[in-house]
Amino acid sequence: RQAQYRRLRDVPSVTKDGERIALHINAGLLVDLPHLEETGAEGIGLFRTELQFMIAERMPTTGEQQALYAQVLAAANGHDVTFRTLDIGGDKVLPYMQKVEEENPALGWRAIRIGLDRPGLLRSQVRALLKASAGRRLKIMFPMVATVDEFERAKAIVERERAHLVKHGYSVPEDLALGVMVEVPSLLFQIDEIAARADFLSVGSNDLMQFLFAADRENRQVAHRFDPLSAPGLRALKTIADRAKAAGCPATVCGEMGGKPLEALALIGLGFRSLSMSPAAVGPVKAMLLKADVGAVAAELERLLADGSHHGSLRQALAAFASAH
Ligand code: PEP
Ligand code: MG
């Protein structure tokens, strides 16, 4: 199997009916970078910047952050890297930051909420990213955005830092793309407004499904109780794919769904053309894509979703369809 996947490394990721699907990897540390070459992935679709903060004994300085980002970009060797700003809080606590006791940490003070309330932290990270990407392309995305206003405020912080660097004679990225993670269901109901303002969207399906079904992803009793491959899960994802496309805004999926072959098949059937996954998933997902007929999957999904008789998981129906084709 492993050898078979390695042979797929340089095979273009194009479906049987000619749709090109961009495959990216998720990463968080410098040691993850060699996987780019090993897998033949197009780039890093999600760089989890909190990893550096979680393994440190104290808050990394702006200079230390900048050094890591510069090393990541150098190791990526021209491949795109999408940096996600700090996604801490919830289950990811920093030992050196004062812990806030919360009844529901997943719904609490985390990610962009901390970034906007403690702008010093976000500004330091943004400055490190801008400096590390001087003269090249920089892609930043914000986690746990729940409203258009939060994205606008995060964007304003980036713009202010950029202007500050320019004013002081630093060179800045020649191209700056600012994206939003779609992982809070409220964004589904302002998806047109977000897609019109963002340079790209990235679906965090782990959190999106946790919040959509109100089922704690860390709680074994309920984490697998609801299947994303069911009408509500698939319709939510289809809304994002459709509205992003209508707005001309590129949309990726970077949650675990994208790394599972059957789920990935459903995602491309819903209209996604870019997925980001753990490096080990690239081979199996690509092997599936090469045999997939996206047009047929899309038609089957449409049929299943239009047919009101499917109340539960559509996993078996999709698996049966996949093996028959
Ligand atoms: C997600 O929520 O799907 C995601 C990619 O982010 P994380 O797993 O880091 O919360
Ligand atoms: Mg998430």
| Averages of pLDDT over each 10 residues, the chain, 325 residues | 86 97 97 96 98 96 98 97 94 84 92 96 98 97 98 98 97 97 98 98 98 96 96 98 98 98 98 98 97 98 90 95 92
Q: What's the predicted TM-score (pTM) here?
A: 0.97
pLDDT of residue 113: 97
Rounded CA-CA distance 91/169 in Å is 40
Looking at residue 87, its pLDDT comes to 96
Pocket of ligand 1 (CB under 6 A): 46, 48, 87, 183, 204-207, 254-255
ipTM over 0.90: yes
Nearest-ligand number for the alpha carbon of 205: 1
Give how far Cα 169 sits from Cα of 122, 165, 176, Å: 21, 6, 18
Q: What residues pack around ion ligand 2 (CB closer than 5 A)?
A: 183, 204, 207
Name the residue type at position 294.
Answer: V
Torsions phi, psi for 117 (to 5 deg): -80, -25
Ligand nearest to the CA of 209: 1
pLDDT digits (tens, 9 = 90+) for 10-64: 999 999 999 999 999 999 999 999 999 999 999 999 999 999 999 999 999 999 9
Report the 10 Å Cβ neighbour count for 200.
18
Q: Whose CA is nearest to atom 4 of ligand 1?
A: 204
pLDDT of residue 311: 85
DSSP string of 4-51? HHHHTTTS--B-TTS-B-EEEEEE-SGGGTHHHHHHT-SEEEEEETHH
First to last CA, the chain: 21
Q: Which atom of ligand 1 is nearest to the CA of 202?
A: 5
Per-residue confidence (pLDDT) for residue 2, from 0 to 100: 78
What are residue 20's phi and psi, to 5 degrees? -85, 125
SS3 letters for 255-270? CHHHHCHHHHHHHHHH
CB–CB of 256/206 below 8 Å? yes
pLDDT of residue 118: 93
